[in-house]
Amino acid sequence: MSAGSFKQDGLNWRTNLIKQRFGEWMEYQTSQLNPDWDLASFQKTLLWQIIKFCLWSIIAILLVWITWQLWLLLRLYWKRWQRTSDRHPNFTSPTQTTQLSAADWVERSQSARVDGNYQQAIFCLYQAMLKLLDERGIIPTQLSLTDQEYRRSLFKIAVASLNSYELLLSIHQRLCFSQAEADRALFEECQQAYQQIEVKH
């Protein structure tokens, strides 16, 4: 017998042996499932151990998947909450807000612009506009007034530069209540609108 045929026969022999062992194992496990079997004896078999391992593995995978999905969901809500918080800059308390002048708000707006925080810079211009209305005796400062209420009052008064007021009010609403982002171009648009309000009285 040649070396090649010996190797081939050896390989075939090992393959057949594995098949035989597997068949014997299956026969043994199947023989455990007879009409007289009980749960206690079945739980001692290798088959039950394999089934139990598979079940626990599936449960573990499901728990990992659920945890991962919950984490993704919480991260999404956290990012949305952060964006919402950024749209309402916390510069001052309500009392300090009424004490700051329009010039103070413009100064803060420029500082925020230098820092590249256009969201806060626009918010400061918005506050400067409201304070200017108060300082000129057009609409007294009231923290409870909404943008829509300011808009209605301005229409009734027919104030000069109405379009500029409308621009600042609408952009403030959009930044606060949508996913819109502020950039340099939007800030410059708001700054130009405020300057028009400032020079027209």
pLDDT tens string 104-124: 999 999 999 999 999 999 999
Domain boundary residue among 64, 83, 102?
83
pLDDT of residue 5: 46
Amino acid occupying residue 17: L
What's the CA gap between 19 and 27, in Å, rounded? 12
Which structural domain, as residue segments, surrounds residue 21?
3-83
**118 and 189 together in one domain:** yes
The 10s digit of each residue's pLDDT in 132-149 is 999 989 999 887 888 888
pLDDT band at 85 (very low <50, low <70, confident <90, very high): low
pLDDT of residue 19: 61
**102 and 170 together in one domain:** yes
**127 and 191 together in one domain:** yes
**61 and 127 together in one domain:** no
Is the CB of residue 189 less than 8 Å from the CB of residue 174? no
**How crowded is residue 60: how many other Cβ atoms within 10 Å of its Cβ?**
10
Structural domain total, the chain? 2
**132 and 68 together in one domain:** no
Of the given ranges (49-53, 63-67, 125-129, 191-195), which has the lowest mean pLDDT?
49-53
pLDDT band at 195 (very low <50, low <70, confident <90, very high): very high
Residues 4-24 as b or e (16 or more Cβ within 10 Å = b): eeeeeeeeeeeeeeeeeeeee
**144 and 175 together in one domain:** yes
Predicted TM-score of the model (pTM): 0.54
